[in-house]
Structure 1
Amino acid sequence: MVVKSLSATTGVPESVLRLLFTILLSYPLALFYRFTFLRPLKTIWAPFLRNLYVVVTGLALCYYHNGSDIKHSLIATIVTWIFCLIGDIVGNRTLSAISAFLFNIIYLTVGYYKVQNGDYGINWTMTQCVLCLRMIGFAMDFMDGEKLKKSKLSMASTHAKNSISSSPQKVGISTSRPQKQPISFEKNIQLLDLPPLIETIGYAYFFGSFLIGPQFSFHLYRKFLTMTLFPDATRIPSGSYKSAMKSLFLGALYLGVYEIGSGYFPASYLITADFASKPFINRLMIMWWVGKFSLTKYLGIWTLAEGASMLSGISFNGYDDHGNAEWNGLANVDRWRFEFATSLADIVGSFNTNTNLWVKTYVFKRFAFLGNKELSSIISLLFLALWHGVCFGYYFCFSLEFFDVEIERRWAKRVESYTKPLYLPQNKNNPSIQFWRRIHQLVGWLGQTCALHYAVVSFVLLKWEYIRIVYNSVHWIGHITVFSLLLLDFILPKHKKTSEVNNKMINGDNKMVNGDNKMINGDIRNSSKKIN
């Protein structure tokens, strides 16, 4: 009733308000967990009690958001666990992983067909798409655990790393910062044994991430339950409250900017006759801003969701160089890097970070046997498109993204001999070099934003009839530019790598030296003959 009346008053769709309320409700739940469970409990049931709290609160939040449609996520979680159990019994975890993969992706796709009508909607498929990746990753980690069992590693030491212990070992806090791995998908996340069903449900419905992410491994969730995530479980580092409030404020700010900006530049305006009548440059500028504010929405909602993970403690990411605790371990976006990215590679590393890591871990690397990174990238992007939905716009957007990234990679190599000196340490304070470095960064930023915002329009509009209208109005300039650069790359001669040139020069010098040695040896022999 409250949501409906508020929706009628503000004009904001009820589904959007319910999404925001669900995220905001995770904050007090995380705070209660922090005070009650994020400390040593004098019972061997401590991990079980922590997990039980996550199960109850996660299911309650999911029911608040999805209502009776919560059954879909419950079915997917339980069926995935049963697949893993059967695979363990028959001694074929690979079969269970394949079954879990097919079941989850087919279940999600059928759900999309039933509820999507060509427009993006907030419904049970939103939580289902997050769960889909989580359960596939869970099954694949379980499959990898079987391979680990068969390896030469010590079973005792490996099992100790994966088993639940209510009294984690205390170690001193080091202020030195080791080289970090992303905590969402670290190395050695294989599951030797099948976790209990109740623990799997807790992992699936963790209140800080079941709705819109972030993604993370079961290995991390277990470390969270056992408190082995922290160097000293009796002294939880400070700073999480401040970090959470910062995420809350910045998330709200981004969403506010989105509401204002999308009011001036709505995506629906791109398919109007008024837009088509604008001068060409104006159309490109409007299209740029539509893409910008469309992405701002995701930055806002992901930033807002980060706060609950920080408060709960699961996003603890070690210490910085000054010994201060960091709580950005599950950040789904690097805002500063994203806003000032000078390449599409920077965008991939700063936007929807944990999902990209998931795809890299469970899709891209699994096709390494093909021996072709481009083919692995195509398969990964096709999977991402299918995971997002069945609308044409997703496939159109990700296919263009592949060519954009590929063109950027090819031409970056071509101009590397000119751009690399701009970033050498010895040129850091050179005024002339600084000027050209700024120019290069500006060109890179402008190029990646134009490419990104141009492509994301199809991701937003989804339907081919709308996409065609928009790109016709700008004469498909983005596509023409990309494929023209690709054609030029094929036509123009390839530049030889510096290392190859250096090797040839070295080999040439060696030949000259050998020739000189031969001449010297010949002179010595001739001199010896004359003396004799």
Structure 2
Amino acid sequence: MVLELLSDATGIPEPVLRVLFSILLAYPIALFYHIALLRPINLKNAPAIRNFYIVSTGLALAYFFNGPDIIHSLITTTVTWLLMWFGNAIDNRKFATALIFIFNITYLTLGYYYTATDEYDIDWTMTQCVLCLRMIGFAMDFMDGVTLLKSKESPDEKTTSDNKPAATANPSSNIKHELTTPRRVPHKQPVSFEKDCRLATLPSFLETIGYAYFFGAFLIGPQFSFKLYRKFITFSIYPNPTSIPSGSYKFALKCFLLGAIYLGAHQIAAGFFPINYLITEEYSARPFWEKLAFMWFATKFSFTKYLGVWTLAEGACVLSGISFNGYNEKGQAEWDGLSNVSIYRFEFATSLSQIVAAFNTNTNLWSKLYIFKRLMFLGNKNLSSIITLFFLAVWHGTHAGYFLCFSLEFFDIEVERRWSKRLEPYTRPLYDVKNRDKPLIQLLRRLHLFACWFGQTCGLHYAMVPFTLLRWEYSLKAWGAVYYCGHIVFVLLFLDMILPKRREKKSTEHVNTVENVKLNGESKINGYAKINQNGAIKTE
């Protein structure tokens, strides 16, 4: 009733308000957790207490958003856990994981099929798509845990075991903490997925529910491993569990304000640049350059809602304490471990590879670890990238626009990789330290950076059109209004294949000078060489 009244008063659709309120309600839940439970608890079952709080609040928040449709997430979570138990019982975790993968992606796809409309749907499939990746990754980590048992390594966390508290959760424990001094975790490296996320033993069902319904991430993410969740509730995530690092309140407030600004900007800009205007006859009748400019701004501001909701949701994760990311060189705690977007890097990116690294970070990292790298047996990185992008398109929904968008992403990145490599000899002098004091070189470098920024935004926004319009005919109509200029440019650039190849020494390390620039006070080096190695879903 309250949401209906607010919707009538503000003109904002009720489903959108429900998403916003679900994200905002996570803040007081996280605040209470921070005050009451984010501290040493001198009880044997301290992790179980924290997990129970997360389970109860997460289920309540999920019911607020989904209502009776919460049954879908409960079914998939329960079936996933039972299949993992079954696989462990028959000593065939690979078979169980295959069933879990098929079950979750099929359940989600059928949900899309039966609920899809011509617009982006805000319903139970919104939370289900987040849960789908979480459960698949969860099962794969459990499958990989067999190697821990065979090698007789310590199962899972060294200080934890099933249904037992972590030694670090109890300040009176005699077990010495491995981490006793602040350590530096790179700013660009999220903590969502460590190098080793294997699970030797099956977590309890209640822990699985807590992981699935964590109040700060069940709705729109971010994605993270079960291992991080267990470290969070057992306090082994912190170097010194008896002293929680400070600074989370300030960082959470920053996320809240920045997210609110971006959502406000989206709400205002959408009134001036509505994306559906791209499929009107009035738009088609406008001059060519006006249509290009409108398309650029319409798709540009369509990004702001993602930046806004991800940043807003990050604040609740920060406030809970799960996003702790070590210490910087000054000894100050960093809380950006679960950041799903790097605003500065995204806004000022000079290549599509930087966009991939800065946008939807944790989902990209999940795709890299659980899909792309597991396709290494194919022996073809391009094929692995194509399959990964196809999976992401299916995961997003059944609309043709997703497949159009992700197919363009692959080809755009491939074109960018080819031309950055070909133009490297001409752009390298602009970034040579020896030339940085020369006024002309400085001017040319700035012009080159601007050209790279503008070029990648044009390519990105053009590819984003079907992602926002969703339907095949809408996408073609919008592209047709600008005479498929983006496709024409792409085809012309792809003629690079018929040009003579530049001779290179095998020992030469290829550096993409477009990315060898200083952003955020750091030198961004060889980003696209990494794309060449890891495929289109590379995350820095």
TM-score over 0.5 for the pair: yes
Q: Which moved more, 1:273-282 or 1:353-362?
A: 273-282
8 Å Cα contact 1:175-1:322 kept in structure 2: no
Query: Which structure has the bigger radius of gyration?
Result: 1
8 Å Cα contact 2:156-2:199 kept in structure 1: no
What TM-score, normalized by structure 2, do the two folds share? 0.90
Distance 2:90 2:236 in 1: 32
Which blocks of at least 5 consecutive residues in structure 1 are unaligned?
503-532
1:338-377 equivalences in 2 (<5 Å) = 338-377=346-385
**How big is the shift at 1:156?**
3.7
1:254 aligned partner = 262
User: Secondary structure, in 3 states, of the residue corresponding to 1:241?
Assistant: helix
1:126-525 equivalences in 2 (<5 Å) = 126-151=126-151, 154-156=152-154, 160=158, 163=161, 165-168=165-168, 169-170=176-177, 174-175=181-182, 177=184, 181-486=189-494, 488-499=495-506
Q: 1:461 to 1:157 in 2, by over 3 A?
A: closer
Q: Which amino acid aligns with 1:103?
A: F
Q: 1:146 to 1:237 in 2, by over 3 A?
A: same
8 Å Cα contact 2:113-2:398 kept in structure 1: yes
Percent of aligned positions that are identical: 57
**How big is the shift at 1:465?**
1.6
8 Å Cα contact 1:240-1:327 kept in structure 2: yes
1:86 aligned partner = 86
Distance 1:77 1:319 in 2: 35
**How big is the shift at 1:267?**
0.7
8 Å Cα contact 1:267-1:461 kept in structure 2: yes
User: Secondary structure, in 3 states, of the residue corresponding to 1:349?
Assistant: helix
Distance 2:210 2:250 in 1: 27
Q: 1:172 to 1:385 in 2, by over 3 A?
A: closer
Partner deviation per Cα, 1:9-61 (whole Å, 9 max, x = no partner): 11111101011000000000001000111111111100000000000000000
User: Secondary structure, in 3 states, of the residue corresponding to 1:198?
Assistant: helix
Distance 2:275 2:449 in 1: 29
8 Å Cα contact 1:162-1:192 kept in structure 2: no
8 Å Cα contact 1:451-1:478 kept in structure 2: yes
Q: Which amino acid aligns with 1:150?
A: K
Distance 2:232 2:183 in 1: 22
Which blocks of at least 5 consecutive residues in structure 2 are unaligned?
169-175, 510-540
Partner deviation per Cα, 1:430-476 (whole Å, 9 max, x = no partner): 33322222111111100110001011111010111211111111000
Distance 1:114 1:360 in 2: 29
2:529 aligned partner = none
Aligned length, in residue pairs: 499
**Greater helix proportion:** 1
1:34 aligned partner = 34
Q: 1:26 to 1:159 in 2, by over 3 A?
A: closer
Q: Which moved more, 1:51-60 or 1:413-422?
A: 413-422
Q: 1:188 to 1:162 in 2, by over 3 A?
A: farther
2:47 aligned partner = 47
Distance 2:112 2:464 in 1: 20
What TM-score, normalized by structure 1, do the two folds share? 0.91
2:112 aligned partner = 112
Distance 1:283 1:179 in 2: 42
Distance 2:412 2:159 in 1: 42
Distance 1:175 1:160 in 2: 20
What value does the CA root-mean-square deviation take over the aligned residues?
1.6
Distance 1:501 1:145 in 2: 39
- 1:101 and 2:108 correspond: no
Partner deviation per Cα, 1:405-425 (whole Å, 9 max, x = no partner): 110001111011122232233
8 Å Cα contact 1:145-1:192 kept in structure 2: yes
**How big is the shift at 1:162?**
5.4
Q: Which amino acid aligns with 1:493?
A: P
**How big is the shift at 1:118?**
2.6
